[in-house]
Amino acid sequence: LAVEDVGRLNEYLDPMHSADIADLLEQVSAPERQQILSLVPGQIDGEVLSELDEGIREEVIATLAPEALAEAVRDLDTDDVVDLVEFLGEDRQEAILGALDAPDRVAVQMALSYPEYSAGRLMQREFVVAPGDWTVGQAIDFLRVAEDLPEQFYHVILVDPAMRPVAYVTLGRLLASRRDVRLGSITEETFRTIAVDLPEKDVAYAFNQYHLISAPVVDDSGRLVGVITIDDAMIVLEEEAEEDILRLAGVSDESSISDGVADTVRSRLPWLMVNLATAIVASMVISLFEASLAELVALAVLMPIIASMGGNAGTQSLTVAVRALATKDLTRSNLMRVIRREGAVGLVHGLVFAVVMSAIELVWFGNAALAGVIAMAMVINLFIAGLSGILVPVTLDRLKLDPALASGTFVTTVTDVVGFFAFLGLATLVLL
Amino acid sequence: LAVEDVGRLNEYLDPMHSADIADLLEQVSAPERQQILSLVPGQIDGEVLSELDEGIREEVIATLAPEALAEAVRDLDTDDVVDLVEFLGEDRQEAILGALDAPDRVAVQMALSYPEYSAGRLMQREFVVAPGDWTVGQAIDFLRVAEDLPEQFYHVILVDPAMRPVAYVTLGRLLASRRDVRLGSITEETFRTIAVDLPEKDVAYAFNQYHLISAPVVDDSGRLVGVITIDDAMIVLEEEAEEDILRLAGVSDESSISDGVADTVRSRLPWLMVNLATAIVASMVISLFEASLAELVALAVLMPIIASMGGNAGTQSLTVAVRALATKDLTRSNLMRVIRREGAVGLVHGLVFAVVMSAIELVWFGNAALAGVIAMAMVINLFIAGLSGILVPVTLDRLKLDPALASGTFVTTVTDVVGFFAFLGLATLVLL
């Protein structure tokens, strides 16, 4: 990327989609980013800001002149403005809100009054409604003269006199029907409303489960307050999966590939600290058997295998459980069956690897009693790994804790402790 | 769930969305499922079949009478039929195809001629086109008399005389414009076409990146052959994230929470076998130092801590890299910077835990030389963990292998081997 003169840079950026400009800003180095911003601030419009990762976005907002920023946000839909300002500091938030027209400002402030990560934060307040007794012709005539239609809309929402949505008509049906047809006769069966305080992950679930394109959002009294469209739900769905992936690996879900060293350490060190604590617990179990280890050094060579197999089997089981909980595929009606299955799978794995591993031990060390010990320890640890892989996340979920965040630590601690204790304990009993 | 009589069961299922009926069938036990299918086969329509997990779906299809099956698929859009039959055995596939009307059958067969997991398999062949020189009024009149409009559509696609899409008009713009306006003057800037052989994960990326609602699919010569809509892209996006999560944990991505014991063992045993092999490699490294272990048993107590910290730090680094590769956030332009960052983060982590762990060693064993050894081993292993966490997935990606599938094994093998070798090797040099 040669940042030589304004003209060539504009020529390069002009045909690019705002999402690609945002990716470019994220992927260049910080000095290059500053250079681009100072040369062609006009390229950074509201759309580009919306697409940026949070960390980079704050950096860019801090660089832009107040007028450029005001200009940038004025063209955005209110839901995008909310997304832009909700995690900014108070003065920066007020500077942006001040740049908006009064109605938009009120809309954004109202949205910010809803809980974080709720439908109220996600919805746009631009929507198209019609009384249920209108005809197709009336609706089309209304749309033709309406001034401020949303940039994207997929349904005309039918409301009662109290502004409660009762049904909707797709634009396709509207276009395909004669002018004298009543809207009430061409509504969709898929209609469902979303409560304004529903958590956004449940909104994403509803869109995914019921193949919704857009859905009206209603307040406590059932009145229409906004609309959520599938593109917003798709973003939430991706963020939720991303969050689970990162949390399962012990990385803070606010981390990004464009973070610097300090932010990256901040997003990973806490989990490594927890892991150190659990690793020390496992080592304390080992230290109980120092005498046995001194006597038979083969125990030290083989014990990591038992722990490693347990850790991996437990991780398999818990990952499946965490995702099934997230996608609501694990419920009361199949929980007992899944628990029984994980126990049975753990036993099968245990028996398979007991045979394999005791054969390997015989070839390697030729100690028949030790082969028996490693076989027993393998069965015990893989059985416990399977069970804890399902029981730990389910318990955390019941306690309203995120199973993706903490299950890994608990399960590997269990499999390390059980693995070392079973192997070294049995060895001490049988061999020494 | 009391499956007592047909009437009550129908009453229970009638108001349910097909996606919820499918979830119910997945969550009950196999005998309960058979009972439901035999009591109320009429509830299992095409929509329900579309929503079922593949394993359960095959079981249900095998149970349904041929006529019931034919009835069920006849109402589906062709893209849903493709999704239903593409992984079925040949006779079952032909039975279903035979139930379709000739034009639908040809459409499904054409779709099946495209590569698996390509845009051609994902698209529907129902779409709405108009010549670019039509007016809004002409388009609306055409839609009012058209016989077989797609169930859902969001754009009128403008085509040239050779059926090459050149632009599209949203239905909202169409409805909001006067009858004499030319379609060519109200087209959308966001227009982009998708090649029929594009892999579906790239289709999902394009929808997510550019906020598309629907996109025309074109063949080699640029002719329109179908349309992909956002709901299909959303499903792919979710499947891709799910696949990464499961593969990172060493679970086959075809596994499901409703699998039985045998299928579950089949989806997990291969990775456990690989893990056993790598654990044995690590144990062989340990066995090089049997003499040192026999002399100083504290080494056996402490060595799992070094390996565990390396494994976890490596997993953090590789998970971030795997996801950044999947979302195209890690590219040539930032690769070197990310590699330097991971190295630096590894060094910082190494120094932090060197201090913490040598302090713990001093309190626990009071051996100053051993404290120095554990500190050095920690720095080495966490540095290598950070670097291998980025280099292994990037290398696999360059070799066109899925980094989510194999990175974990490689990285933890590296951190185990390096961790044991550094710690036990340094201890042997310094202490003995």
- Whether residues B413 and B362 share a domain: the answer is yes
> Choosing among A17, A21, A27, which should be mutated to test the B contact, i.e. which has the most B CBs within 10 A?
A27
A12 within some domain = yes
> pLDDT-based confidence at A76, cuts 50/70/90?
confident
B238 and B333, same domain (yes or no): no
Pure H helices in A327-402: 332-364, 368-398
In this predicted structure, which of A71-75, A243-247, B290-294, B315-319 has the lowest mean pLDDT? A71-75
pLDDT at res. B35: 87
Cα(A427)–Cα(B131) distance, integer angstroms: 81
Q: pLDDT value at position B175?
A: 93
Q: Residue A1: inside a domain, yes or no? A: no
Bridge partners of A156?
Answer: A169
Under the banding of pLDDT at 50, 70 and 90, the label for residue B135 is very high
Question: How high is the pLDDT of residue B189?
Answer: 86
Distance between B97 CA and the closest CA of chain A, angstroms = 25
User: Is residue B202 located within the same domain as residue B58?
Assistant: no
In 3D space, the residue among B249, B55, B403, B326 whose CA is nearest the CA of residue A320 turns out to be B249
For A356, half-sphere exposure in the C-beta direction (CA atoms, 13 angstrom radius) is 19
| Radius of gyration, alpha carbons of chain A | 29
Q: Which carries the bigger pLDDT value, residue A386 or residue A27? A: A386
CB atoms within 10 A of CB A18: 20
Structure confidence by residue, pLDDT tens digits, A94-118: 888 888 888 888 888 988 999 999 9
State the complex-level ipTM. 0.87
What pLDDT sits at residue B7? 84
How does pLDDT run across B104-127, given as a tens digit for each residue?
Answer: 888 889 889 999 999 999 998 889
Residue A72 pLDDT > 90 = no
Alpha-helix residue ranges (DSSP H) falling in B288-331: 290-295, 298-326
| Span B253-300, pLDDT tens digits | 778 888 889 999 999 999 999 999 999 999 999 999 999 999 999 999
Q: What angle do CA B176, B178, B184 make, to 5 degrees?
A: 85
Domain final position from B113, B145, B180: B113
Task: Say which CATH number the domain at B41 has.
Answer: 1.25.60.10
pLDDT score for A255: 80
Q: What is the pLDDT of residues A343-395, one digit of tens each?
A: 999 999 999 999 999 999 999 999 999 999 999 999 999 999 999 999 999 99
Smallest CA–CA distance, residue A75 to chain B, in Å, is 16
A333 and A427 both lie in a single domain: yes
Could you tell me if residue A18 is inside a domain?
A: yes
**Cα angle B324, B343, B301; round to 5:** 105
First to last CA, chain A: 68
Q: Is the pLDDT of residue A69 over 90?
A: no
Band of residue B134 on the pLDDT scale cut at 50, 70, 90: very high
Predicted local distance difference test score (pLDDT) of residue A4: 63
- Please tell me whether residues A92 and A211 are part of one structural domain: no
Max Cα separation, chain B? 94
Query: Which of A287, A281, A338, A272 shows the shortest CA–CA distance to B296?
Result: A287
> Which of B14 and B166 is assigned the larger pLDDT?
B166
CB distance from A411 to chain B under 8 Å? no
pLDDT, averaged across chain A: 91
The answer to whether residue A279 sits within a structural domain is yes
CATH value at residue B205: 3.10.580.10
Substitution target from B211, B323, B335, B418 for chain A, most A beta carbons within 10 A? B211
A244 and A166 in a common domain = yes
Which whole number is the average pLDDT over A196-220?
94
Same-domain pairing of B402 and B329 = yes
Question: Residues of chain B with pLDDT > 70: what percent?
Answer: 99
Mean pLDDT to the nearest integer, A211-225? 95
The verdict on A331 and A283 lying in the same domain is: yes
For residue A158, list its beta bridge partners. Answer: A130, A167
Of A172, A207, A304, the CB nearest to B152: A172
Q: For the ranges A154-168, A389-403, B82-96, B312-326, which has the lowest average pLDDT?
A: B82-96
Percentage helix, strand, coil, to 5, in chain A? Answer: 70, 5, 25
The predicted model gives A252-268 an average pLDDT of: 87
Scanning every residue of chain A, which has its alpha carbon at the shortest distance from the alpha carbon of B20? A209
Please choose, from the candidates B176, B165, B167, the residue with its C-alpha nearest in 3D space to the C-alpha of residue B140.
B176
Question: Residue A424: which CATH number?
Answer: 1.10.357.20
Looking at the structure, tell me whether residues A149 and A281 fall in a common domain.
no
Question: What pLDDT does residue B3 have?
Answer: 54
Predicted confidence at residue A378, as pLDDT, reads: 98
What was the pLDDT predicted at A125?
87
Q: Give a yes or no: residue B251 inside a domain.
A: no
* B54 CB-near residues (< 8 Å, 6+ apart): B87, B254, B256
Token pair 């194999």 is found at: B406
pLDDT at B2: 53
Measured between CA atoms, how close is B121 to chain A, in angstroms?
A: 19
Q: What is the mean pLDDT of residues B415-428?
A: 97
Q: What residues are paired with B216 via a beta bridge? A: B227
Residue at A121 is within a domain: no
pLDDT at B4 over 70: no
pLDDT score for A352: 97
Residues of B in contact with A249 (CB under 8 A): 248, 315-316, 318-320
Please indicate whether residue B11 or residue A167 has the higher confidence score (pLDDT): A167
Minimal Cα distance from B293: which residue of A? A297
Residues A190 and A267 in one domain: no
**pLDDT, chain B, mean:** 91
Average pLDDT over residues B154-160: 96
pLDDT computed for residue B103 by the predictor: 85
pLDDT at position A38 is: 85
Residues A233 and A293 in one domain: no
Interface of A with B in 257-286 (CB under 8 A): 257-261, 264-265, 268-269, 271-272, 275-276, 279-280, 282-283, 286
pLDDT at A45 over 90: no
Number of folded domains in chain A?
3
SS3 A2: coil
Average of per-residue pLDDT across B333-340: 93
In a domain, A371, yes or no: yes
- Interval A240-249: pLDDT, tens: 888 999 999 9
Q: Is residue B100 part of a domain?
A: yes
Assess whether pLDDT exceeds 90 at residue A313: yes
Range of the domain at A143: 129-248
Average pLDDT for B45-69 = 85
**B271/A27 CB distance under 8 A:** no
pLDDT band at A85 (very low <50, low <70, confident <90, very high): confident
At which of B82, B113, B144 does a domain end?
B113
Instruction: Tell which residue, B276, B253, B282, has the closest CA to residue B405.
Output: B253
Say yes or no: A239 and A362 in one domain.
Answer: no
Would the CB atoms of A276 and B307 count as touching at under 8 Å?
A: no
Q: How far is A137 from chain B (nearest CA, A)?
A: 11
A-chain residues near B257 (CB < 8 A): 320, 324, 329-330, 334, 338
Last residue of a domain, one of A195, A216, A248: A248
Please report the pLDDT score of residue A196 as a whole number: 96
| SS3 of residue A132 by DSSP | coil
Q: Do A210 and B313 touch (CB under 8 A)?
A: no
Give the pLDDT band (50/70/90) at residue A275.
very high
Name which residue leads in pLDDT, B2 or B246: B246
